[in-house]
Amino acid sequence: MASDTGKLTVLRIKAAKAGKHFDGGGLFLHVTGVGRYWRMKYRHSGKEKLLALGVFPEVNLSEARQRRDAARAQLRDGNDPGVAKRERKITLTEVAANTFAAIAEEWLKKQKPRMAAATLEKARWTLDDLVLPWIGNRPIAEIDPPEMLKLLQRIEERGAHETAHRTKQRCGQIFRYAIATHRATRDPTADLRGALTPAKVTHRAAVTDPAKVGELLRAIDGYTGSFVVRSALKLAPLVFARPGELRQAEWSEIDLDGALWRIPAGKMKMREEHTVPLPPQAVAVLRELQPLTGNGQFVFPSERSRQRPMSDGTVNAALRRMGFDKDTMTGHGFRAMASTRLNEMGWSPDVIERQLAHAERNKVRAAYNRAQYMNERKRMMQAWADYLDGLRADGKVVAIGRKSVTR
């Protein structure tokens, strides 16, 4: 191959044929059939080595000379520029793998088996819309408290104070995961305690006054909309499951003869299978609905497609149609209704909490409770259904397990 030792110029570079064309100080242009490559010959520790400096024309002559001079400066300091380049490349690779976005995605995958689908979807939305556009490409170990505060204040400026607090909590979980996996040394959100505007605590609207409960039940009985929706409204106070669990109920989960509804772990917020005892009143609602939807997958299918459950706003929309605004009653309010009244009536808080499928912090106690409380939960659910019948009939005295209750 041809070679030369004269100083290079732009014209000589463009006209250069295959071979090595030297510029001085070890720098040369290697022309091949596929491209023109800048290279530098140097010696370190008695060995001749070669350093890649880029490709022409992306790297022009002036920049190639600057890179050569920088490499020669490293040599004068006793360093091998080739080793330094490899170490720099490794560092950049590690930084790319340890950005907030990369670790957040890794954390989300870890949470998928234990987090309800709706919760996972909310977490992803929070990250994609509120966090990643600003700190997603930042190395997680370099994110500091002022940077996080600026991000959260941007959310606060919209008046979304509760969202800002939840975003801080979610980011804190990701930082702690990074610490546990040796990608960070501290959680910057921990230093922001008291820095955000306190979020106003809002309770889910629910009817709990017995007289008002009776009015609500009679309104449901008189609902003139879809039969499927009316059935969902009638079942909701009897089982007080979460709205998402109710609307996604499948016939395969329900044993009408055994009077049980077994909700799979994948549909539960706490990712544990949950069994709901069905009093005769609930079984009657389901048997009446079965001829209409029993041949399909979902107990309460969408009006638009039997292959999908009804939407999450359907029950709330029906309540609004009946005259119960969002500050009075919601689909989630049936849980608060049952919890409030049953606690006031003297039922064991442990039994109520287990029926609500709230998490038990102690795993040994949780396993015990699941078995221990089933019989009492069946009695409670039957007594609750009978109590609702009494309120629907305008407040007759009804035995509710441990005591007689009047409206």
Using alpha carbons only, how large is the chain's radius of gyration in Å? 34
How high does pLDDT run on average in the chain?
86
* Structure-token pair, residue 120: 């996972």
Is a pLDDT exceeding 60 seen at residue 190? yes
Domain spanning 2-90: which CATH class is it, in words? Answer: alpha beta
CA 354/CA 366 separation, integer angstroms: 9
Q: Which residue has the higher pLDDT, 324 or 168?
A: 168
* Structure-token pair, residue 105: 């995605």
For the question of residue 203 being annotated catalytic, the response is no
- The answer to which of 93-97, 195-199, 228-232, 390-394 has the lowest mean pLDDT is 93-97
The rounded Cα 155 to chain-centroid distance in angstroms is 18
* pLDDT > 90 in the chain, percent: 53
DSSP 401: S
Looking at 262, 365, 368, 402, which residue is catalytic? 368
Q: Average pLDDT in the 200-213 region?
A: 76
* Structure-token pair, residue 144: 């500091």
How far CA 373 is from CA of 59, 226, 349, 404, in Å, comes to: 74, 36, 11, 22
For the question of residue 150 being annotated catalytic, the response is no
Cα-Cα end-to-end distance for the chain: 103
Is a pLDDT exceeding 50 seen at residue 405? no
317 φ/ψ angles, rounded to the nearest 5 degrees: -65, -40
Is a pLDDT exceeding 70 seen at residue 372? no
Residue indicated by tokens 């006031």: 344
Q: Which residue has the higher pLDDT, 10 or 149?
A: 149
Looking at 67, 230, 335, 377, which residue is catalytic? 335
Residue 314 pairs with which residues in a beta bridge?
none
**CA proximity to 277, closest of 367, 375, 388, 401:** 375
The 10 Å Cβ neighbour count of residue 43 is 10
How far CA 287 is from CA of 16, 114, 257, in Å, comes to: 87, 33, 10
Q: Which amino acid is at 164?
A: A
CA 23/CA 52 separation, integer angstroms: 15
Where residue 203 falls (left for φ over 0; alpha for ψ -120 to 50; beta otherwise) is beta
For the question of residue 402 being annotated catalytic, the response is no
At 33 the pLDDT is: 85
For the question of residue 358 being annotated catalytic, the response is yes
CA 342/CA 237 separation, integer angstroms: 12
Q: Which amino acid is at 270?
A: M
Domain map of the chain by residue range? 2-90, 100-192, 210-405
At 121 the pLDDT is: 83
For the question of residue 182 being annotated catalytic, the response is no
Tell me the angle at which helices 117-126 and 100-111 cross, rounded to the nearest 10 degrees: 170
- The answer to which of 128-137, 159-168, 266-275 has the lowest mean pLDDT is 266-275
Q: pLDDT by residue (tens digit) across 299-349? A: 999 988 888 999 888 999 999 999 988 888 888 889 888 998 999 889 988
- The answer to which of 3-7, 262-266, 303-307 has the lowest mean pLDDT is 3-7
Those residues whose C-beta lies under 8 Å from the C-beta of residue 86, and which sit 6 or more positions away, are none
Those residues whose C-beta lies under 8 Å from the C-beta of residue 21, and which sit 6 or more positions away, are 3, 4, 8, 12, 13, 28, 29, 30, 31
Looking at 358, 365, 396, 402, which residue is catalytic? 358
* Cis preceding linkage at 57, omega within 30: yes
Q: Average pLDDT in the 377-402 region?
A: 80
The dihedral formed by the CA atoms of 248, 249, 250 and 254, expressed in degrees to the nearest 10: 170
Q: Percent helix, strand and coil across the chain, each rounded to 5? A: 55, 15, 35
Looking at 332, 354, 377, 392, which residue is catalytic? 332
Q: How confident is the model at residue 3 (pLDDT cuts 50, 70, 90)?
A: very low
Residue 26 pairs with which residues in a beta bridge?
none
Those residues whose C-beta lies under 8 Å from the C-beta of residue 73, and which sit 6 or more positions away, are none
Q: pLDDT by residue (tens digit) across 69-91? A: 999 999 998 899 888 888 777 66
**HSE on the CB side for 163, CA within 13 Å?**
17
Looking at 44, 85, 269, 407, which residue is catalytic? 269
CA 334/CA 392 separation, integer angstroms: 15
Q: pLDDT by residue (tens digit) across 16-50? A: 999 999 998 999 999 998 889 999 999 988 889 89
Looking at 39, 67, 168, 242, which residue is catalytic? 242
For the question of residue 368 being annotated catalytic, the response is yes
Which CATH superfamily groups domain 210-405?
Answer: Intergrase catalytic core (1.10.443.10)
Q: How confident is the model at residue 173 (pLDDT cuts 50, 70, 90)?
A: very high
Q: Is domain 100-192 classified as CATH 1.10.150.130?
A: yes
